[in-house]
Chain A
Amino acid sequence: MSDELEQSFVKQLKQNQNIIHKICRLYTRGEDAHKDLFQEITIQLWKAYPKFRGDSKFSTWAYRVALNTAITLYRKSTRSVATQSFEAERTFIRQEDYNYEEEEQIKLLYQAVYQLNDIEKALVFMYLEDKDYAEISETLGITEVNARVKMNRIKGKLRKILNP
């Protein structure tokens, strides 16, 4: 019975693993930290899996557990403060319509996002993932109005970091 559960979990996680990777991209820097957080999120998802009833999509459910892990449970490992990952990750998209100016700006944007705190990152993440404010507020446990206010402030904050 537990084998069956394990199998279906592994399968679904494999299909949806990009959600976790994306969170790791925002919350960690460097390959080691990325792997570390990926593993911790996987463990937390597995621990919570028996309570997953399938009345929501696996992905929707995974968003919540994964974000919660990144924000509250995960202890950042101090051994990885590497910044080179960003560069390494980017090189292979360069062939298609490469626009130097835009590329530079995107780089700056990522750097700005890295300076945000964990909660702000969560909002940015959900914004980038096209989540609406209803879902954002439900995930974080705040009201929709507050989510909007917070998002506007983050935009302001990013603008400030970009144009000091």
Chain B
Amino acid sequence: MEELDLLKKDWKRRENAFEQVSEPDIYKMIHKSSSSLVRWILIISIVELVFWTAIGMVAGTDEYLDGMDNEAFRIGLSVLTYVNYAVVIGFIYLFYRNYVQISTIADTRTLMKDILRTRRTVQYYVWYNLAMIGLSMAVGFVIAIVCSPQVAGLKDVITHDNWALTKTVALLFVVLCLSVGLVWVIYRLIYGTLMRRLLANYRELKKIDFD
């Protein structure tokens, strides 16, 4: 194709037209930190873990639970909390392993496959978090109604009035859905932005194979 050859001619002519980067500048560069996609995924997931842990501490759920008279709920909920931490730490490990395993020496397709594995890990992580938020809210509501002294009045009303019970359950359900939905949107924004271009490139590369 003559057009591309024309381009090639110009390309060659301008081969040495770049402002050269000096050795000291290269030294400086290699000591800076990367801003690569996979690194961002790792960083965001760690920030997130810290954030949720901090929220848990500030919210002081432990004291709230201590005030309750139901031992079974209290134990159940703290077990749930620890299981949650274990799972999240497991995810962080997976993110880190993906991060380390991804190698730019591989061919582009293999590299993309590896990165997309990271993406899948992220997706599982998001689904797990959403499920966990939903579950702990539902459990929280039940505990509050069954044994918190603050809502004893409400409990009295709904045990005798079916309509009030329905309304309460519906309201709590809506609150739960809205919360989970909100978190889902936030996740979509954060990880969606990170992964969109990569996914497009991978599809492009795969397309060649099956055409």
A residues engaging B (CB < 8 A)?
Answer: 6, 9-11, 13-14, 17-18, 21-22, 38-40, 42-48, 51-52, 61, 64-65, 67-69, 71-76, 89, 92-93, 102, 105-106, 109-110, 113, 117-120, 122, 124, 127-128, 138-143, 146-147, 149-150, 155, 158-159, 162
What A residues does B106 contact at CB under 8 A? 68, 141
Task: Check A119 against B34 for contact (C-beta < 8 Å).
Answer: no
Identify 9 residue pairs between A and B in the complex whose beta-carbon atoms are under 8 Å apart, listed by A's number: A10-B30, A46-B29, A65-B104, A65-B105, A68-B106, A71-B201, A120-B204, A127-B4, A162-B3
Q: Decide if B103 is an interface residue (CB 8 Å cutoff).
A: yes
Contact at B194–A140, with CB atoms within 8 Å? no
A contacts with B: majority SS: helix
Nearest A residue to B40 via CB reads A75
Q: Residue B14 contacts which of A52, A93, A150 (CB distance < 8 angstroms)? A: A93
Residues of chain B having any CB pair with chain A under 8 Å: 1, 3-4, 6-8, 10-11, 13-18, 20-23, 26-27, 29-30, 32-38, 40, 103-112, 115, 194, 197-198, 200-201, 204-205, 208-209, 211
Query: In the complex the two chains form, is A40's CB within 8 Å of B20's CB?
Result: no
Residue of B3, B10, B37, B208 touching A75 (CB-CB under 8 A): B37
Return A45 CB to nearest CB of chain B, in Å. Answer: 8
Q: Which residues of B contact A72 (CB under 8 A)?
A: 37, 108, 111-112, 115, 198, 201
* Contact in complex: A11, B23 (CB < 8 Å): yes
The B interface, classified by DSSP as helix, strand, loop or mixed, is helix
> Given the complex, which residues of A lie within 8 Å of B30, measured CB to CB?
6, 9-10, 42-43, 46
Question: Which chain B residue has the least Cβ–Cβ distance from A129?
Answer: B11
| Min CB gap B51→A, angstroms | 22
Pairwise interchain contact A118-B201, C-beta atoms closer than 8 A: yes
- Chain A residues near B13 (CB, 8 Å)? 93
Complex partner residue of A142 from B6, B18, B33, B205, CB under 8 angstroms: B205
Whether the Cβ atoms of A140 and B7 lie closer than 8 Å is no
Determine the chain B residues whose CB is within 8 A of the CB of A146 once the complex forms: 208-209, 211
Please measure, in the bound complex, the distance between the C-alpha atom of A117 and the C-alpha atom of B198, giving whole angstroms.
11
Q: Which residue of B lies closest to A106 (CB)?
A: B10
Our pick among B3, B108, B112 for the contact of A139 (Cβ within 8 Å) is B108
| Interface pair B21/A17, CB less than 8 Å apart | yes
Q: Which of A43, A105, A141 contacts B107 (CB 8 A)?
A: A141
Check A106–B111 contact: CB distance below 8 A: no
For B29, the chain A residues whose CB sits under 8 A away are: 38-39, 42-43, 46
User: 5 closest Cβ contacts across the A-B interface?
Assistant: A141-B109, A141-B107, A73-B36, A21-B18, A46-B30
The answer to whether B211 touches A149 (Cβ under 8 A) is yes
Report chain B residues within 8 Å CB of A150.
208
User: How far in angstroms is the closest Cβ of chain B from A111?
Assistant: 11
Q: How far is the CB of A46 from chain B (nearest CB, A)?
A: 4
Given the complex of chains A and B, what is the CA–CA distance between A71 and B202 in angstroms? 10
Q: Which residues of A contact B109 (CB under 8 A)?
A: 140-142
A102 CA / B11 CA spacing, docked (Å):
13
Q: Which of B16, B26, B105 contacts A64 (CB 8 A)?
A: B105
B201 touches A117 (CB 8 A): yes
Judging by beta carbons under 8 Å apart, are A40 and B111 in contact?
Answer: no
Q: Which of A44, A48, A158 contacts B3 (CB 8 A)?
A: A158
- Roughly how many angstroms separate A159 CA and B2 CA in the complex, as a whole number? 10
Q: Is the CB of B108 within 8 A of A42?
A: no
